[in-house]
Amino acid sequence: MRKLSLSELNRDNIEAFKRKKKLPVVLVLDNIRSALNVGSAFRTADGIAIEKIYILGISAKPPHREIQKTAIGATESVEWEYFEDGKTLIDHLKEEKFNIIPIEQADNSTYLNEFKPIKTEKYALIFGNEVKGVSDVFMEESKQCIEVPQFGTKHSFNVSVCVGIVLWDFWSKLA
């Protein structure tokens, strides 16, 4: 066995990536404190080929040195848009017919492994602040919530790890 070289991976260039069909999913980065986590979300969004990232509130936005460090160029391939406040973004997502789904530990949440996305629907997945979680404005507007099951002593996954787990799961169920 040998590792493949970069040229053997046959990855799309940015122009081809922008034209390709995307998973009907957008990420909402809800007041993410760490620019490194934002950059990691961009890189994962590129790897799974989702539609877009919405950056909200205090979250760092490109161009930013720490985002670039972990995104390694994905800010050029993945579409993104910044919103100052959650209510304006919710109105936009509703207008675009997205199912707004916080990824959070909440009463009546559905475990990720039990969630069954519908191939004809569009999903806005909300990932919250590293300390406070998903903003109340999203929780109040959502009809459903997904929780990633955990079995250790910690109360949560790092947000960038959670993004990876959830996007991979959605890809495996929708692709």
Range of the domain at 151: 20-174
Structural domain includes residue 168: yes
CATH number at residue 107: 3.40.1280.10
Q: Is residue 139 part of a domain?
A: yes
Residue 40 lies in a domain: yes
Residue 54 lies in a domain: yes
Residues 6+ apart with CB under 8 A from 72: 43
| Domain annotation covers residue 4 | no
59 in any annotated domain: yes
For 106, counting Cβ atoms within 10 Å of its Cβ (0-12 exposed, 13-18 middle, 19+ buried), the class is: middle
- Residue 127: beta bridge partners? 29
User: What confidence tens digit (pLDDT) does each residue in 97-149 have?
Assistant: 999 999 999 999 999 999 999 999 999 999 999 999 999 999 999 999 999 99
Whether residue 13 is contained in a domain is answered as no
Residue-wise pLDDT for 21-67, tens only, equals 999 999 999 999 999 999 999 999 999 999 999 999 999 999 999 99
Question: Which tokens is 88 given?
Answer: 């304006």
107 in a domain, yes or no?
Answer: yes
The tally of domains found in the chain comes to: 1
